[in-house]
A and B are shown apart, each in its own frame.
Chain A
Amino acid sequence: MSVAQSAPLVIDVTGINKHFGEKHVVKDLSLQVREGEIFGFLGPNGSGKTTSIRMLCGLLTPDSGHGTCLGLDVLRESTAIKRQVGYMTQKFSLWDDLTIAENLDFVARMFGMKNRRDVVDQALEELGLTTRRNQLAGTLSGGWKQRLALASCLLHHPKLLLLDEPTAGVDPKARRDFWEEIHRLSAAGITVLVSTHYMDEAERCHRLAYIAYGTLLALGTAEEVVASQGLHTREISGSGLLGLGESLRQLPGVDLVASFGATLHVSGKEEARLEASLQAVLQGTALKMAVVPASLEDAFIYLMQGSQDQFQG
């Protein structure tokens, strides 16, 4: 499930920088996203994801760099970009003290839509909120707020959707429905750039970017990102795992230890040393060891550790 390489570039930026005072929040960001692609944006909190998204939709002006979004200059044509972009903020940002219908109507007005009433009615219909149209938006549950927010940024038929952690605090069923909708939109040719912390969501994206401390560290499909880290992973299972993690971490050849439910994933770049170290420890215990492919999560945690070492000393 990936997008043809011939599809035109919707986002094409290079060397984007942003400072907030002394802080260099985004460093030399270069990003290419093709039409119809679902592009995942991952990284720890405060890594510059939100700032990057805001720069792409014209809410922030980059300090330097150049590029286009929907063929429009990100530095000079932010107003035109806004018309074709749907931006869903991290926090629910519709008006709590307006009703569902009033919120949609307001957004439709802001985008200067001519057939406003029809558009709003249709959106309500699709949401299944027609009967609740006069309910205050502030009284909706988290899942419904998220659906309403998505509907409101789709009202003006944007070509590009920028979703900033759209599923934070939403239950699994609503999350699944949400992603079904994202894929449906992608199939209809809408490009989606979505930031997330969830691995299952990351795996649903066509391509991923991993950003930490303002720097883009990895880019590609989920498989490519995992492969690029060159990790070899062993899964350790059995009784007596508790407290084992800490001691394993000190061993030569072990770069990463992560708990996965009742098992431990131990990963390292050099397979021979990893294997030797683990064999020595597990000798004579009841613990079992198996070779497993490194998961996306292993790769991300490894990336995060690496970037911490690099940027925090």
Chain B
Amino acid sequence: MTLFSHSFSFSRWIGILLKEFIQLKRDRLTFGMIVGIPIMQLVLFGYAINADPKHLPTAVVMADPGPFARSYVAAMQNSDYFKIVGSVDERQANDLLERGQVQFVVTFPPGFNRDLVRGKPPVLLVEADATDPMAANGAISVLNRLGAEVFAPDLPGLQRPSAPLIELRAHRRYNPEGLTFYNIVPGLMGVILTLTMVLMTGLAMTRERERGTFENLLATPATPLEVMTGKIVPYILIGLIQVTLILVAARWLFDVPMHGSLLLLYGVVLLFICANLTLGITFSSIARNQLQAMQMTIFFFMPSLLLSGFMFPFRGMPEWAQMIGNVLPLTHFLILVRGIMLKGNGIGMIWDQVWPILLFMGAVLAFGLKTFRRTLD
């Protein structure tokens, strides 16, 4: 071994070391990554992510608006796990659940107060949106505990310590067995599309610039629109192939149900692909080389992965993180895909999630067209 032989020159070694630091300092984006990635991860994992989400939006169906029911609702609110969004009828409740606007619907049956006073445990129906099983579990266990805490002081004479005061019937809608891959497999579709679409288009354009072939392209009569769309379409097809692969695997390997329309799903996928491609193209018109395009993709991909509700329940995050999450197309795409596949959402129920994606795409497109360098200046 002569690696550390007498010929090792310390000053030469210092020279190499210094050169590396100088180059790192010049490469702003890499430098930004060195500093930015740890901070981003720290903040996201430390503050934003919470596997035991609280303040979950809950609708109440009140068939017997008596004092006990009302104090139970108040107790739910106080537990911090539930945020009561209002009292609705059964049909509205179902609609809210399907749209994903509430996580729970709690139904107080007729005669709730009467049964309670008589010592006959009334049935409290809790319907949970279990497309993301992790989000529902903690809150359901809290409901069980609440009964005794709320009613015991008011019903001293009737208390039978060994028996429960109410009978809690929890329905995990859309995913009765609480299978996590019902949630993860459709989610993966969005994650994979985000990564490949943004990255591949980002590279496609910067590759031309890096190799100098872009100049040749610009010297031809081709217009920016022709260049941009001509470069985008192949990746749309690639994205559709990826989705088909995942759907086939979801069906045959994981038995994930497909309750909604396949056509609608592909429509939504197409929209999502376009949004990501627009971003990729925009990255590529800013990035000076392929490495930078890659770095920008990571900067976008990380929050998408962590703040979209893919890895951790969306409603478990603080307000500010949810706001960032709401900007990301993946957040809305996840709700759309789960809605269509697991809940059977129809075309009438998707608009709430479609417009934010359209808005994102429009904003990025406007910015991209502005920065796309038609000419080299």
Contacts and interface: CB of A to CB of B under 8 A. Distances in A.
Interface of A: 18, 20, 54, 57-61, 78-79, 82-83, 85, 87, 89, 91-96, 107, 110-112
Contacts of A112: 221
B220 interface: yes
A91 B376 contact: no
Given A54-B375, A82-B221, A110-B220, 14 more contacts: A20-B377, A54-B376, A59-B218, A59-B376, A60-B375, A61-B375, A82-B220, A89-B215, A93-B211, A93-B216, A95-B213, A107-B216, A110-B221, A110-B222
B212 A82 contact: no
B219 interface: yes
A266 to B, nearest CB: 42
Nearest to B222: A110
A-B interface, 9 closest residue pairs, ranked by CB to CB distance from nearest? A110-B220, A93-B216, A87-B219, A93-B212, A91-B212, A82-B221, A93-B213, A60-B375, A89-B215
A59, A85, A96 — most chain B CB neighbours (10 Å): A59
Contacts, number: 51
Interface in B264-322: none
Contacts of A58: 375
A96 B211 CA distance: 9
Nearest to B216: A93
Contacts of B214: 93
5 contacts: A57-B219, A59-B219, A59-B375, A79-B221, A89-B219
Contact of A59 (B212, B215, B222, B223): B215
Nearest to B214: A93
B377 A82 contact: no
The main secondary structure of chain A at its interface with chain B is: loop
Nearest to A86: B219
A268 to B, nearest CB: 42
Contacts of A87: 219
Interface residues of B, number: 16
Interface of B: 211-223, 375-377
B220, B375, B376 — most chain A CB neighbours (10 Å): B220
A107 B220 CA distance: 8
Contacts of B216: 89, 93-94, 107
Nearest to A84: B221
Contacts of B218: 59
B220 A111 contact: yes
A92 B212 contact: yes
A83 B221 contact: yes
Given A59-B376, A60-B377, A61-B375, A93 B221 contact: no
A61 B377 contact: yes
Nearest to B219: A87
A27 B133 CA distance: 68
A54 B221 CA distance: 14
A137 to B, nearest CB: 10
A85 B218 CA distance: 12
A58 B215 CA distance: 11
A20, A54, A78 — most chain B CB neighbours (10 Å): A54
A95 to B, nearest CB: 5
A60 B218 CA distance: 10
